[in-house]
Amino acid sequence: MNEKTVTQALLKHLFFQLQTNVYTVLDGASVEQLPQLLWEHEPENICLYRGELEPDMAAVAPYLVELKYDHPFTRLVCEKGWGNHWGIFAITPAEVGIRALRQHFRKFLMVNDPEDKLVYFRYYDPRVLRLYLPTCNAEELRIIFAPVSSYIAEDKDSSVLLRFSVDAEKLRTEKISLAQSHGVL
């Protein structure tokens, strides 16, 4: 499946609903020169880490970015990032702004490991999210999905899109073939 087909199918699934916002959390550790790309393309974005960061930390930090259907940065993320674990997507109701979503996502940056040591939790890596969400109980799902309608991440097979949502307090996972759903919006 070529890059253009993947991009068209991905855009179709990201922007299929009216009255929603589409965000991505990009992992600076997976996206080469992410701060530079954000500066060049100027999408609305905010780092999930607080304060003034040293350049080496800013380069690997997670960034929350609002995506717009016709913005060049959205196309870049879909074309280059999908299949390369650049990050995850979050679909929210239209009234959920970037600052409120940042506040929500910041709650999950640090967790206690089994030895009760505080460690970074890289939930914004699709390889982590797709393993983590199925382990969550109803209360955890309620917290993680609070302002988010659905999360979208690549599967191990990048021709498959995973859409996670909550239905009756249970995780709902849809596996969608991008090869079969590449119609244009």
In a domain, 185, yes or no: no
- Owning domain of residue 80: 3-177
Average pLDDT, the chain: 93
Q: Are 169 and 142 in contact (CB under 8 A)?
A: yes
pLDDT, average across residues 68-72: 95
| pTM exceeding the 0.75 threshold for the entire prediction | yes
Token digits of residue 133: 């969400």
Q: Is the pLDDT of residue 69 over 80?
A: yes
Burial class (CB in 10 A: 0-12, 13-18, 19+), 31: buried
pLDDT bucket at 184, cuts 50 / 70 / 90: very low
As for how many domains the chain has, the answer is 1
Q: How far apart are CA 178 and CA 139, in angstroms?
A: 31
pLDDT, average across residues 52-72: 95
In a domain, 71, yes or no: yes
In a domain, 82, yes or no: yes
pLDDT bucket at 150, cuts 50 / 70 / 90: very high
pLDDT, average across residues 149-155: 97
Q: How many residues does the chain have?
A: 185
Q: Is the pLDDT of residue 84 over 90?
A: yes
In a domain, 182, yes or no: no
In a domain, 93, yes or no: yes
Q: Is the pLDDT of residue 22 over 90?
A: yes
pLDDT bucket at 4, cuts 50 / 70 / 90: confident
Helices and strands, counts by H and E, the chain: 7, 9
